[in-house]
Copies of this chain bind each other. A is one copy, B any other.
Amino acid sequence: MDSSVMRTRRLSKDNTYFALKQKIIDSELKPDQVVHEENLAALLGVSRTPLREAIQRLENEEFLVRQPNGRLRVASVTVEEVKEIFLIRSMLEGYIAKSAAKNATDQDIQNLTAMIENIKQSFRSGKSQDFVSYGFEFHDYLSEMSDLKTFVKILNHLRDHALRYCRFVSLHGDWNTQADEEHNFILQMIADRNEEGAEKAMQDHILSSLSSALERIQGIQANRED
């Protein structure tokens, strides 16, 4: 097994896409920053060909925008956009919760209960990263229960955009305890197979997180020029 022979083939096409998107989400590439293909290629360790394919996708998703002169720039973040994103999420995830309530098996309720317990634990132990991913787990599980594939695709896309803002709020204690209560309430509605209740509870949950996000963003946004 001569490992030095079979190196190439690093699947860079998709990896480049995810790596680049992550750098934008994490603000490693800052909003409105102008970027150049050659620099990015060097940064990511690939040639321009797979990089450009990744760029195409990110342009399409509006993480990157092309200026009139063809130069590339990281998309802006605006309060208007985050409002719309959370509003759409409230509608779609609300309907997902409603469908989940309709489809829920007893096993589902058990699993969801365990998840919420995990969220509580990671919050108490202060592991905020776990907290965030457990929160995703809860929402993702409901998505699977709903079996609404197109809803989920759009939501995943919106979540990636929302994540650009979430770094501002995810570590905010008050919001976390509130989210915990809200998750509990959603689960209760689903356990009761109360479809309308679950829908409303999820909508309120998302809109409540929007309010928290806006509070935090308000100050930051004030410091920026156009």
Contact = CB atoms under 8 A, between A and B. Distances in A.
Interface in A56-115: 56-57, 59-62, 80-81, 84-85, 87-88, 91-92, 95
A150 B52 CA distance: 25
A interface, by DSSP: helix, strand, loop or mixed? helix
A19 interface: no
Interface residues of A, number: 25
Contacts of A59: 57
Contact of A149 (B56, B80, B91, B153): B80
A84 B149 contact: yes
A121 to B, nearest CB: 35
B62 A60 contact: no
Contacts of A54: 56
30 contacts: A49-B49, A52-B53, A53-B53, A53-B56, A54-B56, A56-B56, A56-B57, A57-B57, A57-B59, A57-B60, A60-B60, A60-B61, A62-B153, A80-B149, A81-B149, A81-B150, A84-B148, A84-B149, A84-B150, A84-B151, A85-B150, A87-B95, A88-B92, A88-B150, A88-B151, A88-B154, A91-B91, A91-B92, A91-B95, A154-B154
